[in-house]
């Protein structure tokens, strides 16, 4: 394995011929703040992806990604954070070859949205996946698009409205994860699958992905619409600020229900 490109918190590894990994390297939980989102966005502009035939998205440390920094959701930073995060998601979806998220530990909040931006999701049996935003008085903007696409309306509603977490095994049962393995075998199996894809015709893989994605060509417009909804309907609420502050202050929220 060789490192093809590296920034302070991310790198691109060569896993096998035609297979590269985008590695989140901000352990233990690979939390994304506005600064690191900008860093990741720049990394995603790399020409490496034009030469690859399959791309893995994985994390170092105890978990894949526990989401965006809660303090960056506060009203003064929310707009900048949302714009940076949506830019990253758009660039991930636009990678022209098959992408596979490899989820171990936690994939929560923005971490799960990041994983769902990939074409396929591999998870460890003991992984924790969920959108806990509702418990903080917020919503998960991109997940409102990605989860119904993956799960259908009702199962997406279950996760988004309850904020509950599922392990890798339940994630496979409901259609959130495509393949599930014991954590010790997860990366090896993901690389093996990616290697099989990379053995196929590169131009045909790209054409197949382009055709699959034709029904999501309006993603940037959809994300912008959800972003505007978030800023207009959610951020001004007193319960929104209360939920975030209660998390940062490690206390139970006191909802105003205004």
Q: Which CATH architecture has domain 2-184?
A: Alpha-Beta Complex (3.90)
pLDDT tens string 109-166: 999 999 999 999 999 999 999 999 999 999 999 999 999 999 999 999 999 999 999 9
* Residue-wise DSSP of the chain: -EEEEE-SSEEEEEEETTEEEEEE-STTTT-B-HHHHHHHHHHTT-THHHH-SEEEEEE-TT-SB--B-GGGGSHHHHHHHHHHHHHHHHHHHH-SS-EEEEE-SEEETHHHHHHHTSSEEEEETT-EEE-GGGGGT---TTHHHHHHHHH-HHHHHHHHHH--EEEHHHHHHHTS-SEEE-HHHHHHHHHHHHHHHHTS-HHHHHHHHHHHHGGGTTHHHHHHHHHHHIIIIITT-HHHHHHHHHHHTTS-------
Report the predicted TM-score, pTM, of the whole model to 2 decimal places: 0.95
Q: Which pLDDT does position 220 carry in this prediction?
A: 86
Q: Which residues of the chain have pLDDT under 50?
A: none
Q: Which pLDDT does position 1 carry in this prediction?
A: 73
């Amino acid at each position: 394995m060789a490192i093809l490109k590296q920034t302070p918190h991310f790198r691109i590894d060569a896993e096998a011929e035609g297979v590269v990994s985008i590695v989140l390297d901000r352990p233990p939980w690979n939390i994304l703040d506005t600064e690191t989102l900008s860093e990741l966005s720049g990394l995603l502009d790399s020409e490496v992806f034009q030469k690859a035939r399959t791309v893995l998205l994985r994390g170092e440390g105890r978990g894949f990604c526990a989401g965006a920094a809660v303090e960056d959701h506060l009203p003064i930073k929310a707009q900048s954070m949302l714009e940076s995060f949506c830019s990253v998601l758009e660039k991930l979806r636009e990678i022209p070859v098959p992408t596979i998220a490899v989820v171990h530990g936690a994939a929560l909040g923005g971490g799960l949205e990041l994983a769902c931006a990939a074409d396929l999701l591999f998870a460890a049996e003991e992984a924790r996946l969920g959108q806990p935003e509702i418990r903080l008085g917020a919503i998960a903007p991109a997940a409102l698009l990605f989860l119904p696409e993956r799960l259908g309306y009702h199962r997406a509603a279950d996760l988004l409205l309850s904020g509950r977490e599922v392990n890798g095994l339940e994630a496979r049962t409901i259609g959130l994860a495509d393949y599930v393995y014991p954590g010790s075998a997860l990366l090896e199996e993901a690389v093996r699958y990616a290697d099989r894809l990379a053995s196929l015709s590169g131009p045909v893989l790209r054409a197949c992905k382009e055709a699959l994605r034709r029904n999501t060509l309006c993603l940037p417009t959809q994300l912008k619409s959800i972003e505007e909804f978030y800023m207009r309907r959610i951020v001004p609420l007193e319960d929104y600020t209360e939920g975030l502050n209660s998390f940062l202050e490690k206390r139970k929220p006191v909802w105003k229900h205004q």
